[in-house]
Amino acid sequence: MSWNSFVTKLQAAFGVTKSELLVVFVLVFGLLGGTLVQYFSGDSQHNSRNKEVAEIVYRSLDSLAETQRTAYIGTDVKDSSYHELAVADTIVKKGFFPQQGRKAQAGTIIDLNKASKVELMRLPGVGEKTAIKIIEYRQSSLFRKHEDIMKIKGIGAKKFAKMKEFIRIR
């Protein structure tokens, strides 16, 4: 069997072009060559150093994963020196699928008197600044009825019409 017929059969079998086949050959032979060189090098000091580096990388990744898993969005600071921070956020335990950036969908109800900034931002037409204004308003007086949200600057009748099915007052 000649080299050209072998290449033609591989092209037909895998449905690839000659260029793609060449790239695959280079990658496969490179990986095999590298593996053989590493296997036959016999440098035990080099192998132990690789294991140390791998252990450091795994410990770092585990630490980052644990930090990400236990991280909170928000604050529970009530100290007056951090008033702006406390006004802007409330604690929301971070889950596997973060809710930030998703808008409310049918069946999602958000309580205006208890929702965090991130939850308020899920309402149609509510961004970060409006969510902060809602939190500031409810610190001085709670929402008594749905229409009270129109007292917030930037929320008029049109925005209220879009969001009223997603809000609740308790």
Between 70 and 98, the more confident residue is 70
CB-based burial label for 143 (10 Å; 0-12, 13-18, 19+): buried
Model pTM greater than 0.75?
A: no
Helix (H, G, I), strand (E, B) or coil at 160: helix
Band (101; pLDDT cuts 50, 70, 90): very low
Query: What's the average model confidence in pLDDT over 33-59?
Result: 77
Q: How many CB atoms lie within 10 A of CB 111?
A: 13
**Listed residue (126, 128, 170) closest to 150, CA to CA:** 126
Q: What is the pLDDT of residues 11-41, one digit of tens each?
A: 888 888 888 988 999 999 999 998 888 777 7
pLDDT of 43: 60
Give the architecture-level CATH label for domain 92-168: Orthogonal Bundle (1.10)
Decide if pLDDT at 95 tops 60. Answer: no
CA–CA separation, 121 vs 132, rounded Å? Answer: 9
Q: What residue ranges do the domains of the chain occupy? A: 3-70, 92-168
Residue type, 161: A
**Listed residue (156, 149, 147) closest to 135, CA to CA:** 149
pLDDT of 29: 92
Neighbour-count burial for 121-137, b at 16+ CB within 10 Å, e otherwise: bbbeebeeebbbbbbeb
